Amino acid sequence: MARVVEGFSPRRILWEVFLGLEKGIMEKDNLWFCLSCHLCMEVCPMNVKVSHIIMLLKNIAVERGKAPNGLLDEVNSIFKTGRSMPLSPAIDKRRAAFSLPPLPSVDVEEVRILMRKLKLPFNEGGKK
């Protein structure tokens, strides 16, 4: 990801953490460019768990209300529909074109129970 997104540098993120600047990291979008592909861990000669540290920083950012709006929209969509992206006739058509079966229904109440237990930042009032 660092090769294609200008300004995204896992190394820089770690340096800022070591220097106690993690508050500043949360103010930027950089963290959210990490795909959690773990390639950095595969190649690190010192076996640093880079992607785990970035995931931890993302979790802290969410707790502090610093998650990007797009992510919060997805979380709210999951709370509302059980899916990050609502189904649509266009999606059904595309699946059918690839001979894929329709997506199964989701037990939304079960999803909501899990989300409440995980204390995810969803908009409970906006569930209807």
Contact flag: residue 56 with ligand SF4 (CB under 6 A): no
Identify the residue among 5, 21, 35, 85 touching ligand SF4 (CB under 6 A). 35
C-alpha torsion sign, points 62, 67, 73, 74: negative
Q: How far is the CB of 93 from ligand SF4 (least distance, A)?
A: 33
The DSSP call for residue 105 is: P
Decide if 54 contacts 15 (C-beta within 8 A): no
Q: Determine if 55 is a binding residue for ligand SF4 (CB under 6 A).
A: no
As a whole number of angstroms, the distance between CA 120 and CA 104 comes to 24
Nearer to ligand SF4, 41 or 115 (CB): 41
83: CB partners within 8 A, 6+ apart: 77, 106
Provide the token pair at 55. 């995931």
Tell me if 37 contacts ligand SF4 by CB under 6 A: yes
By C-beta, is 35 or 106 nearer to ligand SF4?
Answer: 35
Question: Which amino acid is residue 19, in one-letter code?
Answer: L
Determine, following the binding rule CB under 6 A, whether residue 59 of this chain makes contact with ligand SF4: no
Residue ranges binding ligand SF4 (CB under 6 A): 1-2, 10, 34-40, 50-51, 54
